[in-house]
Amino acid sequence: MSGRFVTLEGGEGVGKSTNLKLVVELIEAGGHTVVTTREPGGTPLAEEIRALILGVREEPVSGLAELLLIFAARAQHLAQVIQPALDAGSWVVCDRFTDATYAYQGGGRGLPMAQIEALETLVQGSLRPDLTLYLDVPPAVGHARIDDRPLDRLEQEAAAFHEAVRTVYLDRSAREERIRVVDASVPLESVQAQIRTIVGEFLADG
Ligand code: TMP
């Protein structure tokens, strides 16, 4: 039997890594094997592409070049990791996926959503996540939570970029049943209680 595909999304400083661990633990406790991975990245080649995408550089990066690099990494990741794992019956929990492309490249960069849709169909065929948890915090709150580490090329974008990212995530969440919004502005225990409920219901639905 094919496994299920679960993704985690959110803006900067939403506590994605901590909450990703919880999601994996809950699914494993449900008796499933889990492959944990991330985007952009997840294979050696895709991780190299990630470094190209996120690296801070002097040369301005064309939005279309950024978009194509993201989907190049995704094609490799799907072929090498995600599809084989699902075919083998494992569940896949992925830190970000194509909803991030709609939010960052569509919302943040303002690229046409139709271009993203075309690439999504080309690269993924009919594959879509079965469940997506979107961890929501206002960008100003998220940004304040990022500690002193250097910011990557996308994190360095202006506040308006991150507001546009959030708008697209919320808009997609309202339109797609598979995307569940988690209020991540509250204390961690309350965030995790919401995640337990959502994942619990999803596991119970089989
Ligand atoms: P992360 O550090 O939270 O894993 O995210 C890496 C960065 O990549 C984050 O700023 C969002 C960005 N990103 C995109 O712009 N488009 C995408 O499709 C994905 C998956 C990530």
Mean pLDDT, residues 103-109 taken together: 97
CA distances from 104 to 18, 79, 99, 118, 151 (A): 22, 23, 9, 16, 16
* Position with higher pLDDT, 92 vs 11: 92
CA of 54 to the centre of ligand 1 (A): 8
Mean pLDDT, residues 106-123 taken together: 98
CA dihedral 81, 83, 89, 92 (to 10 degrees): 60
- Residue 97 to residue 113: CA distance in whole angstroms: 15
Whether pLDDT at 206 is above 80: no
Q: What is the pLDDT of residue 14?
A: 84
CA 63 from centroid of its chain's CA atoms:
19
The string of pLDDT tens digits covering residues 13-68 is: 888 999 999 999 999 999 999 999 999 999 999 999 999 999 999 999 999 999 99
Which of 17, 18, 36, 39 gets mutated to test ligand 1 (max ligand atoms within 8 A of its CB)?
39
Mean pLDDT, residues 188-203 taken together: 97
CATH 3.30.470.10, domain 5-204, yes or no: no
CA dihedral 96, 5, 93, 12 (to 10 degrees): 20
pTM of the model: 0.97
Q: What is the pLDDT of residue 127?
A: 98
Which of 16, 19, 96 gets mutated to test ligand 1 (max ligand atoms within 8 A of its CB)?
96
Nearest to 82 by CA among 103, 96, 68: 96
CA of 204 to the centre of ligand 1 (A): 30
The string of pLDDT tens digits covering residues 122-176 is: 999 999 999 999 999 999 888 888 777 888 898 888 899 999 999 999 999 999 9
Q: What is the pLDDT of residue 6?
A: 98
Q: What is the pLDDT of residue 143?
A: 83
Mean pLDDT, residues 69-97 taken together: 98
Our CA angle for 67, 133, 54, nearest 5°, is 30
